[in-house]
Structure formats: structure tokens, C-alpha cells
């Protein structure tokens, strides 16, 4: 199940929640259902990166470095 980020239009609360198909998430703060989905909240908190692809700087050394040119540097 995917986790989506939302912002509540009613109280401004930002939260992340699992969304099962067919279900509508509610704001954990006020219970409102007027939510704005945040598309890239979880994907990648940009930190000066130029590339969209995952890199060592964003995922850290490890399995995620498989396709990262600089991954070997951490070895
Ligand atoms: Zn709310």
C-alpha cells in the first residue's frame, strides 16, 4: 500500500498516511476530509541535487547505490 502525504485544507495539518484503494483519508488533527495530496512530499526532499535519480547523497551508501556512479567511493 502506498503512503501519501496530504495537507488539510481545513486546519493546515500536514500528514502522511496509508491509503487503501477506495478509502478516503481523514485529517488526524481535525478529522476533515478536504485534503490536498502532496505529490512529492516523500519521494525526495531535495537537498541541492540536480538529478532526479536516487544517489548516494540522498539514500546513503548501501543497496541504493547500485546505480550511482559515486557509490563506489563509499565502499
Ligand atoms: Zn485538519
Q: What is the pTM of this model?
A: 0.49
Round to whole Å and give the CA distance between 72 and 58.
15
Output the pLDDT for position 26: 93
C-alpha 23 – ligand 1 centre gap (Å): 17
C-alpha 50 – ligand 1 centre gap (Å): 34
Query: Is the CB of residue 54 less than 8 Å from the CB of residue 71?
Result: no
Output the pLDDT for position 39: 73
C-alpha 35 – ligand 1 centre gap (Å): 8
Round to whole Å and give the CA distance between 47 and 29.
29
Q: Is the pLDDT of residue 60 over 80?
A: no
C-alpha 1 – ligand 1 centre gap (Å): 23
CATH no. of 1-43: 2.20.28
Average pLDDT over all residues of the chain: 73
Round to whole Å and give the CA distance between 3 and 67.
25
Q: What residues flank ion ligand 1 with Cβ within 5 A?
A: 8, 10-11, 13, 27, 29-30, 32
61 band by pLDDT with thresholds 50, 70 and 90: low
Amino acid at each position: 500500500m502506498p503512503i501519501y502525504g496530504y495537507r488539510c485544507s481545513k486546519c493546515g495539518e500536514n500528514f502522511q498516511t496509508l491509503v487503501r484503494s477506495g478509502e478516503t483519508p481523514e485529517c488526524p488533527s481535525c478529522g476533515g476530509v478536504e485534503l490536498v495530496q502532496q505529490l512529492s512530499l516523500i519521494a525526495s526532499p531535495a537537498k541541492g541535487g540536480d538529478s532526479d535519480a536516487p544517489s548516494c547523497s540522498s539514500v546513503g551508501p548501501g543497496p541504493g547505490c547500485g546505480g550511482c556512479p559515486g557509490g563506489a567511493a563509499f565502499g
